[in-house]
Each structure stands twice: as structure tokens, then as C-alpha cells.
Structure 1
Amino acid sequence: MVVKFVILPNGQITEARIVTSQSTRHTILRNAALRALKRANPLPPFPKGLNKPSLPMILPIVYELRER
């Protein structure tokens, strides 16, 4: 699964969405990936000297499902 999002200079995460996934049919996995971004929000602010209006990010997420 690949999650795409944007980080603003203050560390806020915006525009989070799943862009590709073999597991998109598994709602629980999609929701878990997006929840992880929500929990990480906000990230630390940009360091001084990084003069960008935003940073677009592409994050691959790999799940390994095992039986108990």
C-alpha cells in the first residue's frame, strides 16, 4: 500500500490518501494506515533553512498478516 500526503512547515500533515494498494479491498488496513498518520500529526516543524512551502511525501506501507 502507498500513502501520499503533504507536510506543511509547521509539521501539520494534510491531504493524506491511499494512492495504490493491492490491499485496498481490506478496509481495516487502509484505515490503520491513515490512523497512523493522524496519530503522528503534527510532525516536528521544518528545520531552519528548509525554505519550502510544503513537502509532498510518498510512504510505502507493508503489512505482514500472520495467523495466531
Structure 2
Amino acid sequence: MDPAIAVAIREQLYETAIQSVASARETRINKKGRRGSEQFSARKRREWDVYEPIVDLLSNEEVDALEAKEERNARA
């Protein structure tokens, strides 16, 4: 098979995949819109609880040590 043909086929498959993902997102958004607003906000809150950022509280010494380590890694 000619490389140009293979590239063209790959590009078409890529475009098809992008369109499929976009239409799946649209469908999901439309389904969420049909639900009651109370259910949506409760689900959204639950997702935030699952994916909330993890925050570590560091002492000043730990912060200094971490910054020194990052500087050493940046120079290496």
C-alpha cells in the first residue's frame, strides 16, 4: 500500500473518532439536561468529592527542602 494512501486512511479514521467522541459528549450533556436540576447538582457535588485536589500541609523546612530538590533537578 502506498504510504500516502495509508496516511489518508489514518486521517479519516482520526476524524471519525473525533466526531464520535463529540457526539457522545453531546448525548451525555443532553441527557444531563433532561434530568431534574436537583439530581444534577447532587451528582456534580459527588464528583467534586471524588476528584477534589489533594492538599498536603508542609512545614517551612519541608517546603525549603522541596524547593532545593526541585532546583537541583532543574540544573541536572
Q: TM-score, normalised by structure 2?
A: 0.26
> Which has the larger helix fraction?
2
Larger of the two Rg values belongs to structure: 2
Larger relative contact order, structure 1 or 2 (CA cutoff 8 Å, min sep 6) = 1
